[in-house]
Chain A
């Protein structure tokens, strides 16, 4: 069977597979993707956007530049239609799938590239056969029963069976979408999960490499979501007190993560701690590397000249109003700051549409703390309009990677107070001895600690000398280490290595795969 894509859409240099981000969601990762595309105008990009449900998104929030030659959407929540015919996957595919599952469960994971390619290619080329096999094949039923008996036989088989089906259900529709996605010289994804798996499948089909750039660690984020999931609470095994269904979901995402790590090369992340985490989760160390974020200094340096001489008593949280940013802790922090500096203001600058319920809770908290005239929700704004008017940036997030907004603030001469998440401490205090010599660009506090955040903010707002020293440290740090030129050079090199195969110069070669 041949791959059904017909080369009417231009073949891109890079096929970007993006889950829950650019161009339909605003945020750090989306801005990073936008930067990457715009700073490589000579390369063409095709984009596959993978989202939850269409209703979660309010259309495109970024104007895609002309070098984006194809944009396709896929929504995981959309139910897959029943298979059009009752074809089954080849026995060799099933055996390879069995070995693949066993290998993913092993510590350390042991997956052969041949099995991985064989399974992914077969499932993508013939999604109907994949679906029929998964739903009806005796072999799959036997595999589920045997796995159930070996692991969770004390709990309900019905729960186990339907959990296995639920975890795999989104893959049927995704495989159908991948059949229509145009080939590219390399595929690039910014997460593991469904996007990583899709990138891996496309890479297997077109025999092209998959580049993985993880900002946050996708598997970790899914695990945290699953641990909080109320719909899994009542499925505890009364004897062992374990939660097998929750564990099954977690194992599913861990398995995808391991598969993507096994197939991606290179595996890029933003800072050293995340690289170690990737290795701990199964990434081969020799394929991992760190490429920090970078910003266009030219956009932000002029803002330093329009700043007032003394820091305005304005503390800004620039980011989406979503739980992971812990905006409520920012509001509580502002209560302490305003108690000490009555003229102080807190600005929350970022879109509120992503989680309207949470945004309303934050507004309610502002009202209940009597801060209506001190804390404002400004919505999405151009940061270059905001930065000259604020004295401090604050990030109260419970999870971050390497926030671009801190780098933008430093470049514009605004120190920051952050929680100790991701590489925020390195950005504030320096990553190594040479970097630390620049000094501290603000202060760091534990998560969910408004008093400590307020102490850090007050120290800088009340002491202009300390504020100026922090400003100077931030400027020196961003200028020496976090420029867009460095980042783009690194990705140019990665793309060059991944796309230089001369065999790929002709689109007709793809059609013969």
Chain B
């Protein structure tokens, strides 16, 4: 009944809007006052339509209302280019992770540093770096970023690589290299151990750790482009090899494999890996966020909502999940 009412509202606003538009553009000759009144009425009708049409978009609703209203109002008046300019001026929200695969629920792989993000607001550090404050303050911001989780810190360090001051740039570089050296060193020593390993069960453990280390390179944003693809391929290869061995930790291996495949965009294979992981004893509450991610990417929004409710119930006390659940409610 509610949906029917909403649909009726939308249709009526659309009809009123179109009528105003027709009157304004194709009607008989009018004076300026009448034209202005029609333009305002057209705008209000478009706004009403946008408010009703975007009701389900939660946190993004404001942007969506603006886009729909701007398009509806300005396209007939100033054409597509004008509407595009209006939208651009409004500042669309940026892609949160433009450079590497990410997930709404993404969690750090095992071994990745998880920092006290609550104590060190990333937005403040980013603002210091962006505002081109005194170099000393930017250096202090970079040093403080060390308290963040690795992925957040590396995102800040990468931004600072373009800083005009050498000290800031080189400090950022050295911090990134420090993270990279730690993971690459771990990979190198695991490979040496693997070469010497004869026992298949222990070899499977080493393959699993190698998969996690390569996954961590990708997760942290330390590799991009071809190198990112390469890291994910290697992680998947090692996880597949490890998963062929029947052992107590096979579920965990499959879980890692699922996450790597999800990051790679191989959604079907990822889903399969998570299903197998569950069959091997990995609890649903661990795989559900990733299942939600897969459902989201395959545009199955009702499943997303179901998974999110499930995860929300499990992780009621975690702020970041509360926000996600609220978004999808």
Q: List 11 A-B contacts (CB under 8 A).
A: A224-B170, A227-B171, A323-B177, A332-B227, A335-B227, A336-B225, A361-B184, A369-B230, A398-B169, A398-B170, A399-B166
What residues of chain A have their CB less than 8 Å away from a CB belonging to chain B? 220, 223-224, 227-228, 241, 243, 323, 326, 328, 332, 335-336, 339, 361, 364-365, 368-369, 398-399, 421, 446-451
Q: Are B167 and A223 in contact (CB under 8 A)?
A: yes
Q: Are B188 and A364 in contact (CB under 8 A)?
A: yes
The number of residue pairs between A and B whose CB atoms lie closer than 8 Å in the complex comes to 59
By beta carbon, the residue of chain A nearest B170 is A224
Closest CB-CB distance, B128 to chain A, in whole Å?
13
B145-167, CB under 8 A of A: which get 1 and which 0? 00000000000000001100011
What residues of chain B have their CB less than 8 Å away from a CB belonging to chain A? 139, 143-144, 161-162, 166-167, 169-171, 173-174, 176-178, 180-181, 184-185, 187-188, 191, 224-227, 230
By beta carbon, the residue of chain B nearest A340 is B226
Q: Give Cα A451 to B225, complex, Å.
A: 8
Known contacts A224-B171, A449-B161, A451-B226, then 5 further A-B pairs from the complex at CB < 8 Å, ordered by chain A residue: A361-B181, A364-B184, A369-B230, A446-B161, A448-B173
Determine the chain B residues whose CB is within 8 A of the CB of A449 once the complex forms: 161
Determine the chain A residues whose CB is within 8 A of the CB of B144 once the complex forms: 241
Q: Provide the main secondary structure of the chain A interface.
A: helix
Q: Give Cα A143 to B184, complex, Å.
A: 48
Q: Give Cα A467 to B305, complex, Å.
A: 56
Closest CB-CB distance, A399 to chain B, in whole Å?
6
Q: Are B161 and A224 in contact (CB under 8 A)?
A: no
Closest CB-CB distance, B38 to chain A, in whole Å?
52
Closest CB-CB distance, B324 to chain A, in whole Å?
32
Q: Give Cα A223 to B176, complex, Å.
A: 18
Q: Give Cα A220 to B230, complex, Å.
A: 36
Determine the chain A residues whose CB is within 8 A of the CB of B143 once the complex forms: 227, 243
Q: Are B226 and A224 in contact (CB under 8 A)?
A: no
Q: Give Cα A446 to B169, complex, Å.
A: 11
A224 and B174 in contact, given A361-B185, A446-B162 (Cβ under 8 angstroms): yes
Closest CB-CB distance, B302 to chain A, in whole Å?
40
Closest CB-CB distance, B173 to chain A, in whole Å?
5
Q: Give Cα A332 to B188, complex, Å.
A: 16
Q: Are B173 and A447 in contact (CB under 8 A)?
A: yes
Q: Give Cα A326 to B176, complex, Å.
A: 12
Q: Give Cα A438 to B269, complex, Å.
A: 55
A448 and B176 in contact, given A335-B226, A335-B227, A365-B184 (Cβ under 8 angstroms): yes
Q: Are A451 and B224 in contact (CB under 8 A)?
A: yes
A368's contact among B166, B178, B188, B224, by CB below 8 Å, is which? B188
Closest CB-CB distance, B95 to chain A, in whole Å?
18
